[in-house]
Amino acid sequence: MLAKSHISLGLLGGIVAYPLAQKLGVAKEFYLTLLLPLILLGSLLPDIDEPKSFIGRKFPAISRIFSISFSHRGFTHFLIFPLIFVALGAIFAHDIITPCLFALAYGIFLHQVGDMLTISGIPHYFFPLFRKKAVLLPQMLRFRTGSVAEKLILIFILTPLIALSAIYIFDAESSQILNMQKLKEIDRILKALGEIAL
Ligand SMILES: [Zn+2]
């Protein structure tokens, strides 16, 4: 998956998880200024194993170390990678550090889910337990990274979902009713997306 698709999936996951964070007593300010950016960082982090990736180009030295040590879609794409951050969070059991590590792990997991939608999936995802390749879709629905299909999914599924979930979830705090102004806004966004796609 492309970096912008991963960021979009991370953003969608971050917005959708917000009500749960509120139920757990996480302050809105803390969520939006710290946890959401960490989810987005996590949603890019596994591709640090590829120096040509968006995050690999941002941190070339670290990326080179990872690319020499592991193959692409290797260790940073295995289930064990986010679980390390979950375990560290549980060990620290700290009011701020633990939610930060959990947010990072969640973002990494969302990245992995995105890659599981592609043709190559994630080989050896459950390392070291078993070697099966992890994919989420039947063969005919999987897409190639950077393909037209991925771009169409980004424009017509992910972006409208982000807009809708942001409006529903963040609007629900001040008003339970989706008012006409918001509906017009959604309509405008969808029309703009349609124009870009054409
Ligand atoms: Zn990846």
For 74-103, how does the pLDDT look when each residue is reduced to its tens digit (9 = 90+)?
Answer: 999 999 999 999 999 999 999 999 999 999
How far apart are the CA of 118 and the centre of ligand 1, in A? 10
How far apart are the CA of 138 and the centre of ligand 1, in A? 19
pLDDT at 186: 64
How far apart are the CA of 1 and the centre of ligand 1, in A? 6
Say yes or no to pLDDT of 198 above 50: no
pLDDT band with cut points at 50, 70 and 90 for residue 49: very high
User: d(Cα 86, Cα 101) in Å, to the nearest integer?
Assistant: 6
pLDDT band with cut points at 50, 70 and 90 for residue 181: low
Average pLDDT along the chain = 89
How far apart are the CA of 77 and the centre of ligand 1, in A? 6
How far apart are the CA of 176 and the centre of ligand 1, in A? 37
Say yes or no to pLDDT of 196 above 90: no
